[in-house]
Amino acid sequence: MFIKSDQIAPLPGADAITIAIIGLGYVGLPLAVEFAGKYPVVGFDLSLNRINELRSGFDRTQEISASQLQNIKTTVNNDIGVFFSADVKHLQSCNVYIVAVPTPTDKHNRPDLTLIEKASETIGMVLNAGDVVIYESTVYPGVTEEICVPILEQVSGLIFNQQFYAGYSPERINPGDKVHTLTNIIKVTSGSTLLVADFVDYLYRTIIKAGTHKAPTIKVAEACKVIENSQRDINIAFVNEIAKIFNLLNIDSQAVLEAAGTKWNFLKFKPGLVGGHCTGVDPYYLAQKAQEVGYHPEIILAGRRINDGMGTYVAQEVIKLMIKSNIAVRQANILILGFTFKENCPDVRNTRVIDIVRTLQEYDTCCDIYDPWADPVEVKSDYDLTICKSYEQLTGIYDAIILAVAHSEFVDLNYSLLKKNEQAVIYDIKSVLSPALVNARL
């Protein structure tokens, strides 16, 4: 299907594509599963524990079922299916590499490209003439061609756009969302030449039911990703700010939003904590690139400041409510319901619930965290916190309860059994409980 043209190294033929997925998290694993229905796939991850879990049929992200994993597993060199491996040698037979590793920020909110750079080094060691490297990780415009490609060239010794090629197709996966799944979301594609762009677009069209949108350049595709989540972040920052204003005016912000939402063009965003690996991170990537070219992004960073401060704001509001109810704050028992960054999802990356916990700890309170979705080992490793995985682990009767994450398990809890007395405070960040049950909601 793909003409060799005058390029030194021809692109892979449509019937000879073998794909390597680098990084098997929330993005990489669904990609590996979908492509495995069409092509031979090597699913590569540096974590041997992750590889062993996937081989046994267990996905800790809960994106792929055990039966799905069992149905697509294969061994090396089989025609169709996925072979999970942590060994670089198993990448040598591949000719299309798709990078789906995390791109977080550091403690100063600066982009941390360490993992995508390491992934590029790994691919460079096995890269052959005619191979195509496609990046899905969120980056600011220019990272693919200005940072990753030079690494590929240096390690492989090959010449870009003559002996190997690149593409970018931003991931749009929403962890925990069983409706907007990989194949049901339009995929933006791009390539380093016109022919490569056609190749990348063709590749994704073989699995994406919703269709594709071919961007004119890699930088356009990179830019579209960071503005999608930056736009969402700014909109949430707006409703977070009005929630603070209406709280001071003693007006129910949720009632205001419901009323305003009756207008056909009102954007129905809700106030809350903004965490996770996309919305709470991507604006910093865009801001970094803007500052590099001499522009200070005011709205983007203002939105980030508002949203990054919401955990502390919630904690302080709960403390005020406790004081008004004559509850001694020091050594008070507080229950925090939920720790993941969103409901019905085990992902704790960049959860802003941690800001509530840290602020309450500054007041010498005793916090219990109950989350049936989060992995206690991961929470302990990443945040040095001990959480309760089951309701039976809860140890006390609480002076305050904060519903931080709207897991379905929390809707029908008997809150009267958890409250120490009638004065105990219930604060509902997600506005999922009856207004009559709570003292305040965001």
- Within-domain flag for 264: no
Place of tokens 């962890």: 175
Tokens of 380: 């302990």
56 is a domain residue: yes
Which spans in 214-366 are helix H?
218-248, 253-260, 282-292, 298-308, 310-324, 353-362
Q: Which two tokens stand for residue 125?
A: 């060691």
> How far is Cα 339 from Cα 354, in angstroms, rounded to an integer?
8
User: Which own/partner pairs from 261-267 qualify as long-range (CB within 8 Å, at least 24 positions apart)?
Assistant: 267/235
CA distances 3 to 10, 12, 196, 210, 256, Å, are 8, 10, 11, 26, 59
CA distance 235 to 237: 5
Q: For 425, what's the count of Cα atoms within 13 Å in the CB-facing half-sphere?
A: 26
Q: How many CB atoms lie within 10 A of CB 397?
A: 13
Flag whether 256 is in a domain: no
Q: Are residues 46 and 169 in the same domain?
A: yes
Catalytic residues: 278
Per residue in 145-196, pLDDT (tens digit) is 999 999 999 999 999 999 999 999 999 888 777 778 899 999 999 999 999 9
Return d(Cα 198, Cα 293) in angstroms, integer. 31
Q: How many domains does the chain have?
A: 2
Q: What is the pTM of this model?
A: 0.92
Of 183, 198, 225, which marks where a domain is finished?
A: 225
Q: What is the DSSP letter of 73?
A: B
Same domain for 175 and 318, yes or no, is no
34: containing domain? 19-225
The answer to whether residues 82 and 192 belong to one domain is yes
Q: What is the pLDDT of residue 161?
A: 96
Residue 291 lies in a domain: no
Strands 212-214 and 187-189, bridge-based pairing: parallel
For 321, residues 6+ apart whose C-beta sits below 8 A from its C-beta are 400, 425, 427, 439, 440
Classify residue 277: in a domain, yes or no.
no
Strands lying side by side in the sheet with 366-370: 366-370, 333-337, 400-403, 425-428, 440-441
Residues found in the chain? 442
Residue 369 lies in a domain: yes
In the chain, what percentage of residues exceed pLDDT 70?
A: 97
pLDDT, tens only, 250-268: 999 999 999 999 999 999 9
* 148 within a domain of the structure (yes/no): yes
pLDDT tens string 316-326: 999 999 999 99
| DSSP code, position 172 | -
Residue 1, pLDDT above cutoff 60: no
Does pLDDT of 3 surpass 50? no
Closest CA to 391 of 411, 416, 413: 413
In a domain, 349, yes or no: yes
Residue that is last in its domain, among 206, 225, 244: 225
Average pLDDT of the chain to the nearest whole number = 93
- Helix segments in 249-281, DSSP class H: 253-260
Last-in-domain residue among 165, 193, 225: 225
Structure-token pair, residue 401: 């309860």
Instruction: Report the chain's terminal Cα–Cα distance, integer Å.
Output: 55
**Pair type for strands 164-168 and 131-135:** parallel
Instruction: Tell me the CATH number at 87.
Output: 3.40.50.720
